[in-house]
Amino acid sequence: AQTVTQSQPEMSVQEAETVTLSCTYDTSESDYYLFWYKQPPSRQMILVIRQEAYKQQNATENRFSVNFQKAAKSFSLKISDSQLGDAAMYFCAYKMNYGGATNKLIFGTGTLLAVQP
């Protein structure tokens, strides 16, 4: 079974600084997606960034980038120039890229990010 582990329950960063959130996962599949979702206090889960496992190039979305290490099964999120609005719970998630009966997301336990002014 696939699992996702986030070992940092809480992180803190100063405004305008850079922070890295860690995620490891376990799977025997070779074709899958990895995601970082942001969940603010309002609870609406928002997709931050995604990575296809077959792509070697790390994904980047503006201030957000990932470090995807497929062999090590590691998928960290780097937030540059942190802003107060980045404060939220961040979830790492996995999804098989398989046209089968289910396309469910498997989530980690989350990292609560605080941004200090």
Q: Does 63 bind other proteins (CB under 8 A)?
A: no
Q: Pick the stretch among 16-24, 53-61, 75-83, 98-106 that binds other proteins (CB under 8 A).
A: 98-106
Q: Does 91 bind other proteins (CB under 8 A)?
A: yes
DSSP one-letter string for 52-112: ETT--SPPEETTEEEEEETTTTEEEEEE-S--GGG-EEEEEEEEE---SS----EE---EE
Q: Does 30 bind other proteins (CB under 8 A)?
A: no
Q: Does 53 bind other proteins (CB under 8 A)?
A: no
Q: Does 110 bind other proteins (CB under 8 A)?
A: yes
Length of the chain: 117
Task: Give yes or no for a contact between 49 and 23, defined as CB atoms under 8 angstroms apart.
Answer: no
Q: How far is the CB of 40 from other proteins (least distance, A)?
A: 11
Q: Which residues bind other proteins (CB under 8 A)?
A: 4, 33, 35, 42-47, 50, 52, 91, 93, 95, 97, 99, 101-110
